[in-house]
Amino acid sequence: MSKKNEWGSIADTIDYAFQPIVNIHTGVCLGYEALLRDYDKAGFKSIQGFFDAAFEDGVLLQIDLRLREAAIKKLISINHHHRVKLFFNLDNRILLLPEDILGDTSEMLIQYGLYKDSVCFEISERHEFQYTSDTKNTLNIYKHRGYKIAIDDFGTGFSGLQLLYHSEPDFIKIDRFFISNIERDSRKKLFFAKVLNLAHILGIMVIAEGVETEKEYFICKEIGCDFAQGYLIQKPTTDVAELRFRYDEIASLSTRDMREKTIDHRLLNDRMEYFDPINLHEKQRGCLTDMSAVFDRFRKNKANTFFPVINGNDEPVGLIREKELKEYVYSKYGKDLLLNKTYGKTIIDFIIKCPICEISTRIEDILEIFSIDEHCEGVILTENSRYLGFLSARSLLKVVNEKNLASARDSNPLTKLPGNTMINEYIEAALRDTKNAYVLVYFDFNNFKPYNDRYGFRQGDRTILLFSDILKKTSGSNRFFVGHIGGDDFFTGFKVGESDRVSIDNKIRYIVEKFKNDVVSLYDPEDRDRGYIIAPDRYDNKKRFPLLTVSAAVLDIHEGPREATIEEVVTALASLKKKAKARDNKIAYAFLSNPGCVDIRSDDLPVAERKFGT
């Protein structure tokens, strides 16, 4: 039997397990990662060993194509396959092969009725990535033809930021190493937050891999992660009947988290310490707690320098500190005097006042209250006036710092506009608000990369700031939400009222024209006069590129019931954006209608000329 025939038989024994990747806020499925199974039945000890053997036998390309088709076949057997993506792991060595296999993949997708953006190829950082002009061109071809790219196992492998820079991915997947026990590891949390912030600046969505516990989920959500994957959602399964489009338990977790705790509440709860309090009165007899019991508490807990004191209703009354007792403990007869009830000193005489705050109090207010008393150890936290825990001075400083970091993560560091988390929350709220119509607009620069290559990142940042200032000055109303997706991509949302449909369309047109006219000031006189620049394209060929403009993809959402997901709205806007770029006026319109399904109908009517609710 020839090697190709032998490998064909091996490939037939391989199966795929699918594991869902879901929106961290809504539980709606973005797609499924295809994970190789039954390789052991073919005689291989590991997945890597399987691909190494195929490479050594010169059949890696053919096997990869067989596996792609097997994964695609499995995907289309899912009822909701047209609403999700296939995340397919790509052996990095495929990128080094000279053959163009995308043509074969394209034919497969046509045969099975799928679009190219239904497939996301995962490049693993665990395996060495040899960056050459050939791999660069191959990745550019993948993206140019409409496929999505993800970096898998980010943060654990060979290439790191170099791979992130060269591949310009749509997604990065943070490795399970950084997710495991992240709630107890501040360094992991810091790393994740910094990588996520960088990704969002570059317009890349972030997937947390290996989320297994609710605590890990809540931290990932708090940091601002976009999607989650792991056992908490669902273990990989070969039975597609077990796969769902909506994982309601994740939506319930998100809703519960929002309902039960503010950001300040969560931060305080994470940093708060619980010290077993001393009761002011003995429960059985109702009299004041004897000082001997106080001494006994400190003797048994030598690491503690103080204890909170509570009354019979579990309400804190202050602290009792070791240092106030020392002058008695270390004097010859001091302790005996305290234990002598006729001496007159009781537990009340040693209670020190301490700031007390409800856990629902704003962190800034707690800090202000704490700063009034220079000698206090910290703040006692309560819930419904009952003792909850203690926040030390050190922990309070950490809470303040973490809140500042959280605020920075939720806004773009360059423009200070709301970032992806708040944009997602706005779209989600708009989809739930069936009583009102909305207009969502996706703005994207035209020819920004050549401009960046020609003038540099600093000048590129100036164009981004110019556009963000135009959006800020144009908004002027709480009905106009402005956000920065990342890079040169911006988002605006309007709640439609009977009187402002015309003004919405006028504002969109004004923004597009204003940027076109103002951005010319950021060109050299020579480029400005001739109306174009000369810069390398994706394939390093010198070309002429027109001056910067901005395209606007305008999506109307009608009043009434709707079941579209955030992902489907974003996909619709991204698709519409391509149409806008081809228009002379750089604006394309579409609308979302029909309850129960997504129905994107393109038309040329501006907002002002369109009827809503039909």
In degrees rounded to 5, what are phi and psi of residue 25? -95, -40
- Whether 389 has a pLDDT exceeding 90, the answer reads yes
Pick the more confident residue, 413 or 485.
485
Question: Which residues partner with 32 through β-bridges?
Answer: 20, 86
Give one word for 600, left, alpha or beta, with left for phi > 0 and alpha for psi -120 to 50: beta
- Which residues are CB-contacts of 145 (< 8 A; sequence separation ≥ 6)? 102, 106, 116
**What integer pLDDT is reported at residue 261 of this predicted model?**
54
Domain boundaries, the chain: 3-260, 271-403, 420-609
DSSP string, 222-272: HHT--EE-STTT---BS-GGG--SB-HHHHHHHHHHHHH--HHHHHHHHH-
446: part of which helix (H) or strand (E)? Answer: strand 438-446
The DSSP letter of residue 288 is B
When mean pLDDT is compared over 72-81, 255-264, 285-294, 415-424, the highest value belongs to: 72-81
The pLDDT confidence band at residue 116, using thresholds 50, 70 and 90, is confident
The rounded distance, in Å, linking the Cα atoms of 530 and 527 is 5
Tens-digit pLDDT profile for residues 132-189: 666 667 777 787 777 889 988 886 655 567 777 777 888 999 999 999 999 888 889 8
Question: Degrees (nearest 5) of the Cα angle 14, 20, 26?
Answer: 170
**What integer pLDDT is reported at residue 611 of this predicted model?**
46
**What integer pLDDT is reported at residue 612 of this predicted model?**
40
- Whether 596 has a pLDDT exceeding 50, the answer reads no
Question: Degrees (nearest 5) of the Cα angle 507, 513, 514?
Answer: 80
Pick the more confident residue, 137 or 46.
46
Sheet strands (E) in 132-249: 148-154, 171-174, 205-208, 227-228
Tens-digit pLDDT profile for residues 309-346: 998 778 888 899 988 887 766 665 666 666 666 656 78
Tens-digit pLDDT profile for residues 547-589: 999 999 999 888 887 777 887 888 888 889 989 999 999 999 9
- Distances in Å between the Cα of 311 and the Cα atoms of 289, 306, 388 are 11, 17, 13
- Which residues are CB-contacts of 209 (< 8 A; sequence separation ≥ 6)? 152, 153, 173, 174, 175, 176, 179, 229, 230
CB 399 within 8 A of CB 391: yes
DSSP string, 25-87: TT-BEEEEEEEEE-TGGGT-SSHHHHHHHHHHTT-HHHHHHHHHHHHHHHHHTSTTGGGSEEE
Count Cβ atoms within 10 A of the Cβ of residue 404 and give its class: 0-12 exposed, 13-18 middle, 19 or more buried: exposed
Average pLDDT over residues 390-398: 92
The pLDDT confidence band at residue 101, using thresholds 50, 70 and 90, is low
Tens-digit pLDDT profile for residues 201-250: 677 889 999 999 999 999 998 888 889 999 999 999 999 999 999 999 99
The pLDDT confidence band at residue 1, using thresholds 50, 70 and 90, is very low
- Whether 462 has a pLDDT exceeding 80, the answer reads yes
When mean pLDDT is compared over 55-64, 92-101, 206-215, the highest value belongs to: 206-215
Q: HSE on the CB side for 538, CA within 13 Å?
A: 16
Q: HSE on the CB side for 293, CA within 13 Å?
A: 15
Q: Which architecture, in CATH terms, is 271-403?
A: Roll (3.10)
The rounded distance, in Å, linking the Cα atoms of 543 and 86 is 35
pTM of the model: 0.58
- Residue indicated by tokens 């708060």: 272
Tens-digit pLDDT profile for residues 405-432: 776 667 888 898 888 878 887 888 888 8
Q: State how beta strands 119-124 and 85-90 pair.
A: parallel
The CATH code belonging to domain 420-609 is: 3.30.70.270
Mean pLDDT of the residues in the chain: 83
> DSSP H helical segments within 519-585, as ranges?
525-530, 566-582
Burial string for 364-375 (b: 16+ CB within 10 Å, else e) reads eebeeebeeeee
Q: Does domain 3-260 have CATH number 3.40.50.300?
A: no
The pLDDT confidence band at residue 262, using thresholds 50, 70 and 90, is low
The rounded distance, in Å, linking the Cα atoms of 150 and 119 is 10
The rounded distance, in Å, linking the Cα atoms of 62 and 68 is 10
Of 429, 440, 431, the closest CA to residue 561 belongs to 431
Burial string for 434-450 (b: 16+ CB within 10 Å, else e) reads eeebbbbbbbbbbbbbb
